Amino acid sequence: MIVITGATGQLGRLVIASLLKKVPATELVAAVRNVEKAGDLAALDVQIRQADYNVPADWDGALQGADKVLLISSSEIGQRARQHQAVIDAAGRVGVKLLAYTSVLHADTSVLGLAEEHRQTEAAIHASGLPSVLLRNGWYTENYTIGIPTALALGAVYGCAGDGRISSAARIDYAEAAAVALTEDDQAGKIYELAGDTSYSLREFAAEISRHSGHTINYVDIPEGEYKKALIAAGLPELLAELLANSDSGAATGALFDEGKQLSQLIGRPTTAWETSVTTAIS
């Protein structure tokens, strides 16, 4: 039995869809914070178990009988190390045979502020002694394509990534990688650095939007502090704005770049081209 946490999230749903191509639904458990959001998963015969990362007592029941667990990192930035610890502790008590975790690209050396909680979680997994596989996910291309309507409205892509190159991949690529790691043999001890096959700068990203939209969209590089203020003005919470601006700055020095092609090797096909993601987002 495989338990997937964060199963009602965007990545979680794609992981379950990918797993359903490999194992029967009755082998899958979706651990979800809100059962009401999981009706579509239950309709597929996936077992639904309620568990909140903030409630450690939920997790023994949620992981009962699990051979493998995919811990999808929480979206509650600043709370994540503590939240993930609750799942790791329960996985230890239940005695799972493989704990997979969605970490961040180059977690051990990354300069991104976002990487700190992932480093803490990786250390906690290591300390638990559980057999584990680390899926160090790079940037989702969707992090940028979601901003295309704003870029079209403003006539520009704003950021502080300079000419840094970004090896992003689509969520579906990372989801398929998780499904492979959860179903192939001999995954314990593996650490995957997962990123797109090709890279781009935000200047090239803006040019691609121009090409497909018929509107001239320039890339405007601004200081990190100004970008953070712009994100707050656009409605993002301060901590998230700070970490996203910090990530863009990290991109300027290569923190979102990787050319190892481990993701396409794992999923057995090229990663979704970033240009395709731009086209899809515009059409």
Q: Is 101 in the site for ligand NAP (CB under 6 A)?
A: no
Residue 25, SS3 per DSSP: helix
Q: Is 116 in the site for ligand NAP (CB under 6 A)?
A: no
Q: How far apart are CA 127 and CA 85, in angstroms?
A: 11
Q: Which of 26, 54, 216, 265 binds ligand NAP (CB under 6 A)?
A: 54
Between 73 and 187, name the residue whose CB sits nearer to ligand NAP: 73
Find the part of the chain contacting ligand NAP (CB under 6 A) among 19-27, 49-57, 146-154, 237-245.
49-57
Q: Is 147 in the site for ligand NAP (CB under 6 A)?
A: no
Between 195 and 206, name the residue whose CB sits nearer to ligand NAP: 195
**Minimum distance, C-beta of residue 33 to ligand NAP, in the bound complex (Å):** 4
Q: Which of 68, 70, 74, 165 binds ligand NAP (CB under 6 A)?
A: 74
Burial 240-262 (b: 16+ CB within 10 A, else e): bbbbbbbbbbbbbeebbbbeebb
Residue 118, SS3 per DSSP: helix
Pair of tokens at residue 272: 């979704």
Q: Which residues pair with 160 in a beta bridge?
A: none
Long-range contacts (CB closer than 8 Å, 24 or more residues apart) made by 114-118: 114/77, 114/243, 114/246, 114/247, 117/73, 117/77, 117/78, 117/80, 117/81, 117/84, 118/73
Q: Is 184 in the site for ligand NAP (CB under 6 A)?
A: no
Q: Is 53 in the site for ligand NAP (CB under 6 A)?
A: yes
Q: Is 12 in the site for ligand NAP (CB under 6 A)?
A: yes
Q: How far apart are CA 143 and CA 139, in angstroms?
A: 7
x/- contact string, 204-243, with ligand NAP (CB under 6 A)? ----------------------------------------
Q: How far apart are CA 151 and CA 136, in angstroms?
A: 29
**Residue of minimal CB distance from ligand NAP?**
9
Q: Is 143 in the site for ligand NAP (CB under 6 A)?
A: yes
Pair of tokens at residue 143: 């992090």
Between 108 and 218, name the residue whose CB sits nearer to ligand NAP: 108
Which residues in this chain contact ligand NAP in the complex, by CB under 6 A? 6, 8-12, 33-34, 37, 52-54, 72-76, 102, 137, 139-140, 143
